[in-house]
A and B are shown apart, each in its own frame.
Chain A
Amino acid sequence: MKTLSSFRKEILWAVIVLAVLLAIPMVTPSRLAMDFIIRLAAFGIFATSLNILVGYGGMVSFGHAMFFGGGAYAFGLLMQKAGTSVPLGLLGAIVFCALLGLAVGAICVRLREIYFSFLTLAFQMLLHSVILSWVSLTGGDQGLMGGIPRPPFLGLDLSQPTTLYGFACALAVICLLLIRLLLQSPFGYTLRMVRDNAERARYLGIDVWRIKLYAFVIASAFAGVGGAVMALFVSGAYPEFSYWTMSGEAIFMIMMGGLHVFIGPVVGAALLMMFNDIVTRVTELHGLAMGVIVLLFALGFKRGVTDFALQLWRLLKNKRVST
Chain B
Amino acid sequence: MNPNELYDCVTSLSCIVTQTSTGLIIGALLFLVAAGLTLIFGVLGVINFAHGSLYMLGAYVAFSAYQATGNFLAAILCAGTAVGLFALVFERYFMRRVYNADVLMQLLVCYAFILILDDVVKLIWGPEFQSMGMPESFQAPPFFIAGGIVPVFYLVLIAAAAGIAIVLWYVLSRTQVGKRVRAAAHNPTMTSVLGLNTSLIYCGVFAMGGILAGTAGALAAPVRSMSPGMGFSILIESFIVTVIGGMGSVGGALVGALLIGLVRSFGSIGFPDFVEGTMFLAMVLILILKPSGLLGRERRA
**Residues on A facing B (Cβ under 8 Å):** 54, 60, 62, 107, 111, 113-115, 117-119, 121-123, 125-126, 129, 133, 244-245, 248, 251-252, 255, 259, 285-288, 290-292, 294-295, 297-299, 302
Assembled-state Cα–Cα distance A62/B291 (Å): 20
- Determine if B115 and A291 form an interchain contact, defined as CB atoms under 8 angstroms apart: yes
Binding site secondary structure of chain B: helix
- Determine if A287 and B119 form an interchain contact, defined as CB atoms under 8 angstroms apart: yes
Interface residues of B in 103-133 (CB under 8 A from A): 103-109, 111-116, 118-120, 122-123
Identify B280's interface contact among A117, A122, A251, A298, CB under 8 A. A122
Question: Contacts A125-B236, A287-B119 given: A115-B247 contact, CB under 8 Å?
Answer: yes
User: How far does the Cβ of A63 sit from chain B's closest Cβ, in whole Å?
Assistant: 11
What are 15 A-B pairs with beta-carbon distances under 8 A? A54-B104, A114-B46, A118-B47, A122-B240, A125-B232, A125-B236, A126-B280, A251-B107, A252-B108, A288-B115, A291-B111, A291-B114, A294-B109, A294-B111, A297-B108
Assembled-state Cα–Cα distance A117/B46 (Å): 11
Q: Does B136 contact A (CB under 8 A)?
A: no
- 8 nearest A-B pairs in the assembled complex, by CB-CB distance: A291-B116, A287-B115, A294-B112, A291-B115, A287-B119, A288-B119, A298-B108, A291-B112
- Determine if A295 and B232 form an interchain contact, defined as CB atoms under 8 angstroms apart: no
Binding site secondary structure of chain A: helix
A287-B115, A292-B112 known, 15 other contacts, Cβ within 8 Å = A111-B291, A114-B41, A114-B46, A117-B107, A121-B49, A122-B283, A125-B236, A133-B273, A251-B104, A255-B108, A285-B122, A291-B114, A295-B112, A298-B98, A299-B105
Assembled-state Cα–Cα distance A127/B27 (Å): 24
Assembled-state Cα–Cα distance A288/B124 (Å): 13
User: How far does the Cβ of B151 sit from chain A's closest Cβ, in whole Å?
Assistant: 28
Interface centre among B46, B112, B232, B283 (most CB of A within 10 A): B112
- Determine if A60 and B119 form an interchain contact, defined as CB atoms under 8 angstroms apart: no
Q: Does B287 contact A (CB under 8 A)?
A: yes
Report B-chain residues with C-beta under 8 Å of the C-beta of A107. Answer: 284, 287-288
Of all chain B residues, which has the CB nearest A108? B287
- Determine if B103 and A298 form an interchain contact, defined as CB atoms under 8 angstroms apart: no
User: How far does the Cβ of A90 sit from chain B's closest Cβ, in whole Å?
Assistant: 29
Of all chain A residues, which has the CB nearest B113? A291
Q: Does B277 contact A (CB under 8 A)?
A: yes
Q: How many A-B residue pairs have CB under 8 A?
A: 108
Q: Does B55 contact A (CB under 8 A)?
A: no
Of all chain A residues, which has the CB nearest B41? A114
Assembled-state Cα–Cα distance A295/B41 (Å): 22
Of all chain B residues, which has the CB nearest A124? B236
Assembled-state Cα–Cα distance A122/B106 (Å): 17
**Residues on B facing A (Cβ under 8 Å):** 41, 45-47, 49, 94, 97-98, 101-109, 111-116, 118-120, 122-123, 232-233, 236, 239-240, 243, 247, 273, 276-277, 280, 283-284, 287-288, 291
- Determine if A285 and B111 form an interchain contact, defined as CB atoms under 8 angstroms apart: no
Report A-chain residues with C-beta under 8 Å of the C-beta of B98. Answer: 298-299
User: How far does the Cβ of A88 sit from chain B's closest Cβ, in whole Å?
Assistant: 30
Question: Contacts A113-B103, A122-B240, A288-B116 given: A129-B276 contact, CB under 8 Å?
Answer: yes
Assembled-state Cα–Cα distance A302/B106 (Å): 11
User: How far does the Cβ of B228 sit from chain A's closest Cβ, in whole Å?
Assistant: 9
Question: Contacts A295-B94, A295-B109, A295-B112 given: A285-B123 contact, CB under 8 Å?
Answer: yes
User: How far does the Cβ of B246 sit from chain A's closest Cβ, in whole Å?
Assistant: 12
Identify B107's interface contact among A60, A286, A295, CB under 8 A. A60
Interface centre among B103, B273, B284 (most CB of A within 10 A): B103
Report A-chain residues with C-beta under 8 Å of the C-beta of B247. Answer: 115
- Determine if B283 and A117 form an interchain contact, defined as CB atoms under 8 angstroms apart: no
- Determine if A287 and B116 form an interchain contact, defined as CB atoms under 8 angstroms apart: yes
Of all chain A residues, which has the CB nearest B123? A285
- Determine if B280 and A299 form an interchain contact, defined as CB atoms under 8 angstroms apart: no
User: How far does the Cβ of A110 sit from chain B's closest Cβ, in whole Å?
Assistant: 8
User: How far does the Cβ of A117 sit from chain B's closest Cβ, in whole Å?
Assistant: 6
Of all chain B residues, which has the CB nearest A59? B103
Assembled-state Cα–Cα distance A208/B45 (Å): 24
Assembled-state Cα–Cα distance A287/B233 (Å): 18
- Determine if A248 and B111 form an interchain contact, defined as CB atoms under 8 angstroms apart: yes
- Determine if B273 and A114 form an interchain contact, defined as CB atoms under 8 angstroms apart: no
Report A-chain residues with C-beta under 8 Å of the C-beta of B109. Answer: 294-295, 298-299
Assembled-state Cα–Cα distance A297/B97 (Å): 13
User: How far does the Cβ of B115 sit from chain A's closest Cβ, in whole Å?
Assistant: 4
User: How far does the Cβ of B130 sit from chain A's closest Cβ, in whole Å?
Assistant: 18
Report B-chain residues with C-beta under 8 Å of the C-beta of A133. Answer: 273
- Determine if A251 and B103 form an interchain contact, defined as CB atoms under 8 angstroms apart: no
Assembled-state Cα–Cα distance A305/B27 (Å): 45
Assembled-state Cα–Cα distance A119/B240 (Å): 9
Assembled-state Cα–Cα distance A244/B118 (Å): 14
User: How far does the Cβ of B41 sit from chain A's closest Cβ, in whole Å?
Assistant: 8
Interface centre among A111, A115, A287 (most CB of B within 10 A): A287
